[in-house]
């Protein structure tokens, strides 16, 4: 191994090592990209995966959505800041401290709802939400760096789909927890303590697993290349590099996609799942919503890696496919929304008792999950195609999550202020539609063929 000092940047450069012909299979080699991506998938299965299941029930499992909406506004406000800063923090602290701090905040957030079940004081829930925003910014910056930079260049779509499938299995399992534990509870009740405790157990496991992630300089691909040539960075370097993102045309073209990619959660979770279905059915719907995400990520992963020989063509085709599917699904959402409003809610649907009336809204909610995974996996593939170095991609991913969280913070307050369901649907549809041509242009101009 040979090292060089880079006096101008203040970083130390490590030249890549080569592996021998008798290297272990990448499926069993701990420092392979595949094992590390699977590991970060399991960590996200335990932490944000369970968080998604909790949020997907509507109101964090509470009858009154006020505490949940306010906590999520606080969460995504701090997330917006620390998402943008997260890439730089990850480059300074490395994966262990970054992920450990991020994962532990999920446990605290869920414990605040356990407290709220007994005392109904919002302050702890809102504070925990703000702290989770800090932690989530760190976790997702680290996750973005790992998922987009560790895989080989020609298999990034496949590795993203592997991660997304494992991660969203957390939402599937997490959806089963409230469904089973609240099967016989009345619609007027919030979820029981055991639901929150079950979520906390998974999140605690994910926090411990975060210590098993390897830094990028120790991960070796099959061809012997490493995921980054840099040992470390410093605060001043990261501050400058993060500021440069705001004038980077490639990053700016992703802003509408980033802003819109979590904006629709309040509408889907509260105004579709929460408004149309009873308590136990919302848990069941969450299972299928996150299960649909697994299918969506596998489908788009195949398109992005195997549909055409040229990478740029695959990217453009992926944008077109997601754009067409998104138009169809949001059109179905419009048809469904014409049936009810926030001032004229229908009788709650139950999967056992509602018969054919249940099928249409259920399929729509399933389709929302499918589209979410395809849309976000597409954006991550585009980010991964813009560079190949862990430190650069951690900044890109952090910026994406920061803008995404700013959009979500606004969206949760929009829902809390009782903006009409129809208005929320139209805004979400328009925002996602705007992002497709911009992503198409970004792929066409910035993605290079292999």
Identify the structural domains of the chain with CATH numbers, from first to last.
23-446 (1.20.1250.20)
How many other CB atoms are found less than 10 A from the CB of residue 354? Answer: 18
Instruction: Write out the chain's pLDDT in tens, 450 residues.
Output: 333 433 333 344 444 444 444 444 545 688 898 999 999 999 999 999 999 888 766 666 665 667 888 888 899 899 999 988 988 898 888 889 999 999 999 999 999 988 888 888 889 999 999 999 999 999 998 998 888 888 888 888 899 999 999 998 988 887 787 777 767 765 555 677 888 898 899 999 999 999 999 888 888 887 777 766 555 567 888 889 889 999 999 999 999 999 999 899 989 988 999 899 987 888 788 889 988 999 999 999 999 988 888 999 999 999 999 999 999 999 999 999 999 998 888 888 988 877 778 999 999 999 999 999 999 999 999 998 998 777 888 889 889 988 998 998 899 889 888 899 999 999 999 999 999 999 999 999 998 876
Annotate the chain with three-state secondary structure.
Answer: CCEEEECCCCEEEECCCCCCCCCCCCCCCCCCHHHHHHHHHHHHHHCHHHHHHHHHCCHHHCCCCHHHHHHHHHHHHHHHHHHHHHHHHHHHHCHHHHHHHHHHHHHHHHHHHHHHHHHCCHHHHHHHHHHHHHHHHHHHHHHHHHHHHCCCHHHHHHHHHHHHHHHHHHHHHHHHHHHHHCCCCCCCCCCCHHHHHHHHHHHHHHHHHHHHCCCHHHCECCCCCECCCECCCCHHHHHHHHHHHHHCHHHHCCHHHHHHCCCCHHHHHHHHHHHHECHHHHHHHHHHHHHHHHHHHHHHHHHHHHCCCCHHHHHHHHHHHHHHHHHHHHHHHHHHHCCCECCECCCCECCCCCCHHHHHHHHHHHHHHHHHHHHHHHHHHHHHHHCCCHHHHHHHHHHHHHHHHHHHHHHHHHHHCCCCHHHHHHHHHHHHHHHHHHHHHHHHHHCCCC
Residue 10 is predicted with a pLDDT of: 39
Q: Report whether 167 contacts 49 (CB < 8 A).
A: yes
Give the tokens for residue 73: 């506004």
d(CA 402, CA 87): 10
Q: Report whether 306 contacts 359 (CB < 8 A).
A: no
């Amino acid at each position: 191994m040979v090292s060089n000092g880079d006096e101008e940047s203040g970083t130390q450069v490590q030249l890549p090592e080569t592996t021998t012909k008798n290297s272990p299979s990448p499926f069993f080699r701990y420092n392979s990209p595949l094992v590390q991506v699977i590991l970060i998938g399991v960590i996200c299965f335990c932490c944000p995966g369970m968080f998604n299941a909790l949020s997907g029930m509507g109101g964090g499992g509470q009858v009154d959505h006020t505490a949940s909406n306010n906590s999520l506004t606080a969460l995504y406000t701090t997330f917006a800041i620390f998402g943008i800063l997260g890439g730089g923090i990850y480059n300074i602290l490395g994966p262990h401290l970054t992920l450990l701090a991020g994962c532990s905040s999920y446990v605290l957030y869920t414990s605040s709802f356990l407290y709220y079940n007994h005392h109904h004081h919002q302050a702890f829930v809102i504070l925990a939400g703000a702290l989770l925003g800090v932690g989530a910014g760190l976790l997702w910056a680290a996750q973005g760096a790992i998922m987009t930079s560790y895989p080989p260049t020609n298999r990034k779509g496949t590795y993203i789909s592997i991660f997304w499938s494992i991660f969203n299995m957390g939402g599937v399992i997490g959806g089963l927890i409230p469904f089973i534990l609240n099967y016989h509870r009345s619609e007027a009740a919030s979820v029981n303590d055991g639901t929150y405790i079950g979520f906390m157990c998974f999140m605690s496991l994910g926090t411990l697993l975060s210590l098993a992630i390897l830094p990028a300089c120790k991960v070796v691909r099959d061809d012997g290349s490493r995921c980054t040539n840099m040992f470390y960075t410093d605060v001043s370097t990261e501050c400058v590099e993060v500021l440069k993102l705001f004038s980077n045309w490639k990053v700016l073209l992703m802003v509408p996609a980033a802003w819109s990619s979590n904006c629709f959660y309040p509408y889907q979770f509260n105004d579709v799942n929460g408004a149309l279905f009873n308590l136990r059915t919302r848990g069941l719907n969450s299972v299928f919503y996150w299960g649909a995400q697994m299918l969506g990520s596998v489908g788009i992963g195949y398109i992005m890696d195997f549909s055409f020989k040229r990478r740029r063509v695959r990217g453009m085709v992926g944008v077109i496919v997601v754009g067409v599917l998104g138009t169809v699904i949001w059109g179905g959402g419009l048809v469904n929304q014409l049936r009810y409003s926030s001032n004229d809610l229908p009788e709650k649907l139950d999967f056992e008792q509602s018969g054919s009336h249940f099928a249409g809204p259920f399929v729509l909610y399933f389709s929302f999950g499918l589209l979410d995974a395809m849309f976000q996996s597409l954006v991550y593939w585009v980010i991964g195609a813009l560079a190949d170095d862990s430190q650069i991609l951690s900044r890109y991913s952090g910026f994406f999550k920061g803008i995404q969280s700013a959009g979500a913070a606004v969206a949760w307050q929009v829902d809390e202020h009782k903006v009409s369901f129809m208005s929320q649907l139209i805004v979400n549809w328009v925002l996602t539609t705007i992002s497709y041509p911009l992503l198409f242009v970004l792929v066409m101009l910035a993605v290079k063929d292999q």
